[in-house]
Chains A and B, each alone.
Chain A
Amino acid sequence: MVQNNTATSVPRKFLAPVWKQRLRTAWRITSSVVVTLFGLLALTFFIGRLLPIDPVISIIGDQADQATYDAVFKKLGLDQPLYIQFYRYISDVARFDFGTAIFSGQLVIEDIKRVFPATVELSTIGLLFGALFGVPMGVFAAVYRNTLFDHFVRVFGLIGYSAPIFWLGLMGLIVFYGWLGWVGGPGRVDSYYIGIVDAVTGSILIDAVMADEWEIFWNAINHIIMPGLLLGFIAMAYIARMTRSFMLEQLNQEYIVTARVKGLSHARVIWSHAFPNITVPLITVLALSYGLLLEGAVLTETVFAWPGFGQYLTNALLIGDMNAVVACTLLIGIIFISLNLLSDLFYRVLDPRTK
């Protein structure tokens, strides 16, 4: 006897209209996002206030007198009870006012607008390298399991995981910039070109193209290639390992044996049958890698003097600049939520069963 599934057993008139279902889904997602962000904001705010770092000293220096200290303490609102400080902060954030960063003297939102595109640019290049090489490497490592190539990919992945990025970056600079002169040094462009292109999007590559400054564009490419490759290497290590593991699982499935028995070519079995089935988890891996690159490029940014988000957040943390820290944390939260939503969306497109 064939069992009916639930959907077919319920008369259609009892089901909510499609638009209502969509509205409900949208409401569920929105409320969950808002609650998550609020929780993140509250947690960061209170942890920040519990830190023993004194932001007033970061502003006035350690030699200032007490009167100056007290004036700045009051100016920052630190004389108020914690719940009032939080209420005020939340009220400001609701108006998209994240306050002024202590260590730059600028509005946090303006700072983030400046540093975030630099990191997006670098991380995107890194992810492109990572995916472009990592995915095929993982696929071939699985297909040619236990061969020399497979061992190479695994060792390569292990190096990517374990080598300190700071050291790798410096070595890369010494060899490819210092000795061979193939790539540009630290910074986004040579000293010649600093300040020539107006920051419209914040991405030096796009801004240079928009300003029709092709010389600067190529110089910027020359500078981004090394940190981009380095980040790409880290991402590639993870992507290749995960791709290999996903592919191995698929290659052991019966439908692959069937496809081979039917006489399909080797390439077709891999790329038309096995590979499409790993795209869904692979997208999650790529999304997560991108999120980690955006958030965690601190050391790469330090070695390569890249004026990005990671360095900004680290500086803010070190001096207890909580306006900047909370805003950055919120942005990281939004990035991860967006990437998750985006990968959910891709799931729906690529896997009909999730519809």
Chain B
Amino acid sequence: MRKFISFSLAVGIIAAGVVIQPALAKTPNNTLVMAWSLSIYRTLDPADVGEAFVDEVMNNVCDPAIFLDYDDPSKLVPGIVESWSVSDDARTYTFKIRQGLKFPGTGNPVRAEDLAWSMQRVVLGKFNSSANLTEWGYTPENIEELIKATDASTVTLKTTQPYAPGLFLASVMTGRIAFTLDKEEVAKHVKDNDYGNGWLQSTSACTGPYSVKTWKANDVFIMERNGDENAYWRHPVSIKRIVIRHVPESGAERLLLEKNDIDVARLVASADLGAIDANPDLELISSPEYSYWYIGLCQCDDDLTDVRVRQAFKYLMDYQKMEDTVMKNVGIWRQSAVPAGSFGAIPRADEYYRLDLEKAKELLTAAGFPNGMKKTLIIDSQFPFPLIAQHVKENAAKIGLELEIQQMAPAQLYGKFRGRDFETGVFRWSTNVADANGMLSRHAYNPDNSDEANLTMFPAWRTGWNTKELGLNEMVDQGKVEVDTEKRLALYKKIQEIQLRESPFAYYFQGVRNVAVSKRVKGLKVNPLKVFYATVTKDD
């Protein structure tokens, strides 16, 4: 026995001697180390990206034709194209390519042909992002005719009808579908007419401040600066290497940040936000996102078709209390469909709905349900869905509305939502345009409400909301083509008001993006749509 204890002590002491190593003080000055969840990412092809994580990193690898301003995403700033003009009939756009730009991997010059082809392939290859172009009238049949390089430095883009230029440019030319790929290089790797999709799965063939060096799902993602500090055309880039580590647990990210083993934590849960905010060595950067947590009511269920029932759900939320507690630092209450900060958003006001159980009960009774009803509420199992659902359930129970919560994985939840296979559900939606059209063209627009139409990209269709009857389709279409800013604003205000009153959506909270950083990190740009790394500098 004594020998065993001595043996254990000896092993322990040796192990401790081996293990305790002097910890390295902090991350290097020229490297930005970020922790995030890298559970899912499958391709680097800008036309095919679907995940938020890859979308963000690709925004730091590929420059779009036109940038949204780092600080104000409603402003357009020249990108790969240094200037553009719009014809008087608002149907022809002419873009001049910035001279002297080269693709970092090959040294090939960036040409007008590269931009035109990069946009064409999105539709021709029927990739994930193709809907971002097809909704503007582009088809595999007409895109090569409508978007083309007219000389080495000019791209001409025609539209099938006139659109509001600001909206069109922000929607089409600023995102992934307008990243410029090295056509010559990609062409060498095309297999079975895949437009290089297979090769681009693991290669970044575009131009921007960084290139992707290593990526392994569930492990690490490494980017390296292209050239020296002054090689990027837009501004100096101080950070040479960006390492994104897979740390899927918020508490572990916080510990790493506090110990200076990482510089940026991206997966900070609500429980850790307070502690980070209180730590003088750390900084919490928060920005509203253009995203929502909302309830959708399927009109496929006859009980939910009465507008008074829909309105009753909007009276079941204690908006301010939830924002101050459960949703603190995570979401801000907002009832209209257009997120605060984007063009056309009406001011936040509780004149529309507030927690009012008597009013909700009154509405249910008037709709013919004096004894309430029983419905299932499907939700994502991740934070904060269960907490929002529980709050609504508890309030609903007080007016006889019995909600049975069913938690599920996102792929199952949205499968049901897209298939109109639900009664009520809490969902999330985000838009990548700082314009009311981004939300309204999906949530207040449903071209054909029949089951056969299968217009799954429109939540209005998913809930079976016949927007055509209310004249909303026409108004949304009009908003897209109206060039007069004041008239567009008035139109969007009207749509939001109809939506607030009539829609089967109860918008509860607009999302807030939180990024926790070490005080050594300066200049990380966090805006409602994107996060930019190229502006970062680090102190000693």
What residues make up the interface of A, taking CB atoms closer than 8 Å to B? 52-55, 57-69, 71, 101-106, 111, 114-115, 132-133, 136, 140, 143-144, 149, 170, 173-174, 177-178, 181-187, 190-192, 194-195, 218-219, 221-222, 225, 302-305, 307, 311-312, 315, 318-320
What residues make up the interface of B, taking CB atoms closer than 8 Å to A? 1, 4, 7-8, 11, 15-16, 18-21, 23-24, 27-28, 31, 33, 35, 39-43, 50-51, 126-128, 130-131, 134, 201-202, 213-214, 216-220, 222, 243, 245-249, 251-252, 255-256, 258-259, 261-262, 408-412, 414-415, 417-418, 429, 442, 454-457
Docked complex Cα distance between A257 and B255 (Å): 56
Task: Indicate which residue in B1, B33, B219, B252 contacts A191 across the interface (CB closer than 8 Å).
Answer: B33
Docked complex Cα distance between A302 and B218 (Å): 10
Docked complex Cα distance between A173 and B255 (Å): 8
Given contacts A191-B31, A192-B28, A315-B39, contact A65 B456 (CB under 8 A): yes
Q: Are B255 and A194 in contact (CB under 8 A)?
A: no
Docked complex Cα distance between A133 and B408 (Å): 41
A151 to chain B, nearest CB (A): 14
Q: Are B40 and A58 in contact (CB under 8 A)?
A: yes
Q: Among the interface residues B18, B127, B214, B217, which one has the most CB atoms of the partner chain A within 10 A?
A: B217
Which residues of the partner chain A approach B20 to less than 8 Å between Cβ atoms? 182-183, 222
Which residues of the partner chain B approach A54 to less than 8 Å between Cβ atoms? 411-412, 414-415
B408 to chain A, nearest CB (A): 8
Residue of B nearest to A62 (CB): B414
Q: Are B409 and A305 in contact (CB under 8 A)?
A: no
Given contacts A64-B457, A305-B252, contact A194 B411 (CB under 8 A): no
**What are 18 A-B interface contacts by the 8 Å CB criterion?**
A60-B50, A61-B50, A64-B456, A66-B455, A105-B41, A105-B201, A105-B202, A105-B217, A106-B217, A173-B255, A177-B255, A184-B23, A185-B261, A186-B256, A195-B214, A302-B248, A318-B409, A319-B409
Given contacts A191-B33, A191-B245, contact A52 B19 (CB under 8 A): no
Q: Are A182 and B19 in contact (CB under 8 A)?
A: yes
Q: Are B252 and A303 in contact (CB under 8 A)?
A: yes
Docked complex Cα distance between A192 and B40 (Å): 24
Which residues of the partner chain A approach B217 to less than 8 Å between Cβ atoms? 101, 103-106, 111, 312, 315
Which residues of the partner chain A approach B258 to less than 8 Å between Cβ atoms? 178
B124 to chain A, nearest CB (A): 13
Q: Are B255 and A178 in contact (CB under 8 A)?
A: yes
Q: Are A64 and B245 in contact (CB under 8 A)?
A: no
Q: Are A68 and B130 in contact (CB under 8 A)?
A: yes
Which residues of the partner chain B approach A319 to less than 8 Å between Cβ atoms? 40, 409, 411
Summed over the interface, the residue pairs from A and B with CB atoms below 8 Å come to a total of: 195
Residue of B nearest to A218 (CB): B21
Docked complex Cα distance between A79 and B219 (Å): 33
B355 to chain A, nearest CB (A): 29
Docked complex Cα distance between A315 and B246 (Å): 13
Residue of B nearest to A69 (CB): B456
Q: Are B218 and A315 in contact (CB under 8 A)?
A: yes
Q: Are A57 and B418 in contact (CB under 8 A)?
A: yes
Docked complex Cα distance between A301 and B408 (Å): 23
Docked complex Cα distance between A136 and B5 (Å): 10
Docked complex Cα distance between A32 and B213 (Å): 45
Q: Are A59 and B42 in contact (CB under 8 A)?
A: yes
Task: Indicate which residue in A65, A149, A225, A303 contacts B249 across the interface (CB closer than 8 Å).
Answer: A303
B141 to chain A, nearest CB (A): 14
Residue of B nearest to A183 (CB): B19
Docked complex Cα distance between A71 and B216 (Å): 26
Which residues of the partner chain A approach B219 to less than 8 Å between Cβ atoms? 114, 307
Given contacts A174-B255, A185-B259, A221-B18, contact A140 B4 (CB under 8 A): yes
Residue of A nearest to B261 (CB): A185
Q: Are B457 and A65 in contact (CB under 8 A)?
A: yes
Q: Are B248 and A104 in contact (CB under 8 A)?
A: no
Which residues of the partner chain A approach B27 to less than 8 Å between Cβ atoms? 191-192
B101 to chain A, nearest CB (A): 28
Task: Indicate which residue in B18, B214, B412 contacts A53 across the interface (CB closer than 8 Å).
Answer: B412
Docked complex Cα distance between A181 and B410 (Å): 38
Which residues of the partner chain A approach B50 to less than 8 Å between Cβ atoms? 59-61, 64
Residue of B nearest to A312 (CB): B218
Which residues of the partner chain B approach A133 to less than 8 Å between Cβ atoms? 8
Which residues of the partner chain B approach A302 to less than 8 Å between Cβ atoms? 248-249
Docked complex Cα distance between A6 and B360 (Å): 86
Docked complex Cα distance between A144 and B4 (Å): 13
A245 to chain B, nearest CB (A): 19
Q: Are A68 and B126 in contact (CB under 8 A)?
A: yes
Docked complex Cα distance between A184 and B245 (Å): 15
Docked complex Cα distance between A222 and B18 (Å): 8
Q: Among the interface residues B8, B201, B261, B411, which one has the most CB atoms of the partner chain A within 10 A?
A: B411
Known pairs A59-B50, A68-B126, A225-B19 / 5 extra A-B pairs, C-beta < 8 Å: A60-B128, A67-B130, A185-B261, A225-B15, A319-B409
Q: Are B218 and A307 in contact (CB under 8 A)?
A: yes
Which residues of the partner chain B approach A57 to less than 8 Å between Cβ atoms? 410-411, 414-415, 418
Docked complex Cα distance between A333 and B259 (Å): 40
Which residues of the partner chain B approach A55 to less than 8 Å between Cβ atoms? 411
Docked complex Cα distance between A63 and B11 (Å): 56
Docked complex Cα distance between A192 and B31 (Å): 9
